Structure 1
Amino acid sequence: VEKNLTAEKFSEWKGLLRKWKVDVYIPRFKLKTRYSLVETLTDMGMPTAFTEKADFSGIDGTRSLSIGDVIHQAFVEVDEEGTEAAAATAVTLVLETSLPPSPPVFRADRPFIFVIQERKSGNILFLGRVANPA
């Protein structure tokens, strides 16, 4: 799944989703990442910014500045408080004559990929993988 995950495939899968009441069990986890963006930014067309040929004269009036490194850090944590908040919004009403059917259960007890998206724009803010949810 991970090798074939593209923006197009993600949009296709997301379009197939429907709202459905489900009991979700997700393990507690913390993900921390820290990495350099120099190679990525160079590949995206900014190679000169990291060399002596860089022109940041608009900052200090000279051409003696260049970028040494660009560090990206991300942190995602899922714990009981997040689970409790989600569970607090899932209220089941009971009819006097009969009980509603139990919702299906989803347990993230094997490796999984998660996505955190901004609601209005749909922009992906975080994309991660939990390899060992035990």
Structure 2
Amino acid sequence: MVLFIPADRKKKDIDKVIADLDVETWLNWNENMHPAGVTIYLPRFLIKTEKDLIETMKTLGIHDAFDSFLANFANMSTAQELYIGMLKQKTYIELNESGTEAAAVTITGIETNAANPSQPAEIRFDHPFGYVLKEKSTGAILFAGKVGKPE
């Protein structure tokens, strides 16, 4: 956890610090960090959020996966006419005297527009797949990984 705050809030507010934060600044901060004896007063907090991600994904240019006629999941399933009908993310972060705990989970619901599907819809994550969770306002990657041998 890296904490940062404006040295003089009359001259610069936290929104401005964040707005001005770029890769170069971030790298500079990290290069210039060093251990020091400092007393920190930090409030405990707990934040829980839930967000529907479909509109976010559409804003990022991902449209077909959510369209019942354009989606193509043929490489993942033998069922026809599948599309993503639900995409939600829940996040949790708690800071207290013991430390920081954070978690995120993304839930996806696959639907079919077939009136009478000839077989049950099935998606098998039986080959390597990846995942990325990003912080929504900055785009910072919080969790990223790959499942190389799903069992």
TM-score by length of 2: 0.48
| Deviation, structure 1 residue 10 | 1.9
Aligned length: 87
Matched with 1:9 is 25
Residue 84 (structure 2) aligned to one of 67, 81, 86: 67
Q: Which has the higher contact order (CA 8 A, sep 6+)?
A: 1
State the distance in 1 between where 2:81 and 2:62 align.
Answer: 17
Higher helix share: 1
Where do 4+ consecutive residues of structure 1 move more than 6 Å? none
Identity, % of aligned pairs?
A: 33
Residue 24 (structure 1) aligned to one of 27, 36, 40: 40
Q: Which stretches in structure 1 are left out of the alignment for 5+ residues? A: 84-122, 127-134
Q: Which stretches in structure 2 are left out of the alignment for 5+ residues? A: 1-16, 101-139, 144-151
State the distance in 1 between where 2:78 and 2:141 align.
Answer: 38
Structure number with greater Rg is 1
1:27-59 Cα deviation digits (max 9, x unpaired): 110111211222332343421101021011334
| Two-structure CA RMSD over aligned residues (Å) | 2.5
Higher strand share: 2
